[in-house]
Structure 1
């Protein structure tokens, strides 16, 4: 009987042992709960959720209202009209290849209205019969220019939106070569009219065949460097409509409309400056626009 009692007592756990066990378990759990574990969990949740959605950046406007602006191949002149009427540009020279207002209106019926908008204020003008490959320089003859020609260029911004030679050939390689020749000749003539610190802006659709033109390389070989590029937003220019080289598209009833709209296609503008020039920043509404450093990778979206 005494033996059974002793066995039963020895089978029961001792209180100090239980306290020590509790102490060990609490210390073990204390080691498991490291400081900052809650924040670590939150960080993991944020990583799973992904980065916070970014707000859409405002469209880049690569000119100031005070700039002297030359538009080359402005089609139906709706871009020039938007610059004057909505961006309050006071010194715009819009040029077209067509030789007269009548010829232009026959190709683009809305052109007459846009001419009136551009010339309404008196400080801007429209010039006809101007070929971007052979155009005469816009210069101040009292000063000597870097490229020769007897004068310093006076245009702060020279813009050529969607240059294209038209349907000269159905062969893709030939079309690419023709358009490259157009751009090389344009760069050479534009440099003569470019003011010190000014920039040349070329806008192209994204994707092939336009990427095959290698506009960056063509500009480099012409003595220019890429300052930056950015997405072209047609909506930033109220009233602007992409004008096709062949003229206004008409349906089978002779009415204007139909076909694809250039305003809906993705496009990119490339800003070029002289290789040895210090570009002047554009100013919008009294604020200086921040420019990226000269680099091919300094593209703004």
Structure 2
């Protein structure tokens, strides 16, 4: 992940705040606002408040009870004051009960619910958080394994918007000493599975141009849904299209298109 120390940065949903703390100490951005979904009491119970206190001492604004999809929780944040917004390893909070699961998953899958979260994050980033005259970058760092790669982050989140997917860069956790990836609603440290940081902007060209990679599987003769290819024969392509893997991804895509059409 590329970080410019001149940026004004907002971190979203930063579990135990260890990413924000590492970011502040290692890169010294112009200023940093860190946010977590939990309230302070939950943060302290699950993880302790060491990073919270360190950030406060260093003058970092920390917002608790922050829901990136709900403007009513954004408190003192001013409009258009950031160059970059960063969402590390996003994932919906666990369902409270079977009944809660049934209510939230009426006619949609958990895959669609996670895509909704990320789309809303991007829309709010460009419409509210990011300065139109700044670097104007939104990052999503995610694991390159199922079910995360099934969210199809590169192509589907920005449909029918003016937001551009710019490319990706590897996320090296060693560049952020002390950062621990946390599970949503759990107090355990998550294995440092390889991460990828996806970059988005309303601009087509940014200062990241030379630092980003474009995935081959978005090219012709690949299946971008499944990241499979290239196909050297039509029979290979047809065999893949009939596969269970592809059929599952197709169902996700059909459901997603229906969902954003309604919204």
Fold conserved between structures, TM > 0.5: yes
- Work out whether residues 68 and 91 of structure 1, in 8 Å CA contact, stay in contact via their aligned partners in 2: yes
Question: Does 1:246 find its partner at 2:246?
Answer: no
Deviations 1:200-250 (A, max 9, x none): 00011112111211112233224211212022111110000011102213x
Matches of 1:228 and 1:217, distance apart in 2: 10
Residue pairs, 1:34-49, within 5 angstroms: none
> C-alpha separation between the residues in 1 aligned to 2:216 and 2:131?
26
Counterpart selection for 1:234 from 156, 165, 173: 173
> Equivalent residue for 1:205?
143
Equivalent of 1:223 in 162, 165, 174: 162
C-alpha distance in 2 between matches for 1:292 and 1:102: 39
Contact 1:134–1:186 (CA under 8 A) maintained in structure 2? no
The offset of 1:277, in angstroms, is: 5.3
Q: 3-state SS of the aligned residue for 1:182? A: helix
Equivalent in the alignment of 1:93: 33
Q: Does 2:98 correspond to 1:163?
A: no
Moved more, 124-133 or 82-91: 82-91
Native 8 Å contact 2:8 2:31 kept in 1: yes
Residues in 1 aligned to 2:77 and 2:216: alpha-carbon distance in whole angstroms: 32
Q: How far apart, CA to CA, are the structure 2 residues paired with 1:278 and 1:69?
A: 19
Q: Mind listing any 5+ residue stretches in structure 1 that lack a counterpart?
A: 1-60, 141-152, 250-256, 283-288
Count how many residue pairs are aligned between Structure 1 and Structure 2: 202
Write the distance in 1 (CA, Å) between the matches of 2:124 and 2:10.
12
Please say which structure displays the higher CA radius of gyration.
1
TM-score, normalised via structure 1 length: 0.60
Give, in whole Å, the separation in 2 of the partners of 1:186 and 1:164: 12
Does the alignment pair 1:174 with 2:109?
Answer: yes
Alignment CA distance shift 1:181-1:211 (3 Å):
same
**What does residue 154 of structure 1 align with?**
81
Tell me by how many angstroms 1:297 deviates: 4.8
Counterpart check, 1:114 vs 2:114: no
Cα distance in 2 for partners of 1:134, 1:277 equals 28
d(CA) in 1 for partners of 2:20, 2:217: 28
Counterpart position of 2:8: 68
The Cα RMSD (Å) is 2.7
Whether contact under 8 Å (1:94, 1:127) holds in the other structure is yes
Corresponding residue number in structure 2 for 1:11: none
More strand by share: 1
Asked if 1:186 corresponds to 2:186, the answer is no
Shift in alpha-carbon separation, 1:95–1:179, aligned structure 2, 3 A? same
Q: Distance in 1 between matches of 2:154 and 2:46?
A: 31
Q: TM-score, normalised by structure 2?
A: 0.69
Residue equivalent to 1:149 = none
Show CA shifts across 1:34-61 (max 9, x none): xxxxxxxxxxxxxxxxxxxxxxxxxxx3
State the shift of 1:103 in Å: 2.2
1:130 aligns with 2:57: no
Unaligned runs of 5+ in 2: 96-100, 219-263
